[in-house]
Amino acid sequence: MPRKSRTSPRREESLTRDRIIDAAVELLDCSGEGGLTFRALSERLATGAGAIYWHIDNKEDLVTAACEAIVARTLETTVEGANPKAAIRALALGVFDAIDAHPWVGSALTRAMGQQPILRIVERIGQQVRQLGGSGDQQWAAASALLHYILGVSGQNAANTQYARTHGLDRSEFLEAMSNTWSQLDPVEYPFARSVTHQLRTHDDRADYLAGIDLILAGIDAHRA
């Protein structure tokens, strides 16, 4: 559908796509996707909705663009020129921290498969995996495993954080209560769950996440060998 003709040149000259995206990120961080409306965005930018539609087609386009902006900034700060494994760890931690800081990014990435935000991450992972060697099939499997682990665990961590905030839960108290519950499980039916109650109580989500990345990298080495 052709875009509407410009009706306020001076206003539209000062209103750029980047300004709109930055304002959208702020709204998403404060209120989540439910709080991102073109009315709220218009009020924040002191402009009309028509001027925003000149740059952005719809809300889904805006969320994807905001997600891409976060991913691009994240990749800019990850380690360049390091060995492939260090670069993959840095990328993984960067995405984890970005989604932790902007929880809405996790769900936005799941809806952006094949689009620019995902493509950026896939390409960065793939370049490092190629340096690790192996056949084309091995590289595809390795990159896919890393991508799905990074997005899945980072997204789940952000969802857990949001749930805790929404329900006023203290992480330490919640884990303590869960640990106590697990310690009382049937030892025959749940031997493993009972055995990790101490780790459950004291574990660090970020450290566990990175340990998972290391396990995948070790698996890549073994598979290639």
Q: What pLDDT, on the 0 to 100 scale, is given for residue 2?
A: 46
pLDDT along the chain (225 residues), means of 10: 45 76 94 89 89 89 94 84 88 95 91 87 94 89 95 92 84 90 94 93 93 95 79
| Residue 79: predicted pLDDT | 67
What is the per-residue pLDDT for 6? 46
Task: Give the closest residue to 140 by CA, choosing from 224, 67, 214.
Answer: 224
Task: Report the alpha-carbon distance of residue 187 to residue 94 in Å, rounded.
Answer: 39
- Can you tell me the distance from the alpha carbon of 21 to that of 27, in angstroms, rounded to the nearest whole number? 10
Length of the chain: 225
Q: What structural domains does the chain harbor?
A: 1-57 (1.10.10.60), 70-224 (1.10.357.10)
Could you report how far apart the first and last alpha carbons of the chain are, in Å?
54
Element (H, E) at 114: none
For tokens 């410009």, the residue is 6
The 8-class DSSP code of residue 33 comes to G
Q: What is the dihedral of CA 151, 165, 26, 35, to 10 degrees?
A: 100
Q: Considering Cα of 174, then 176, then 180, then 182, what sign does the dihedral take?
A: positive
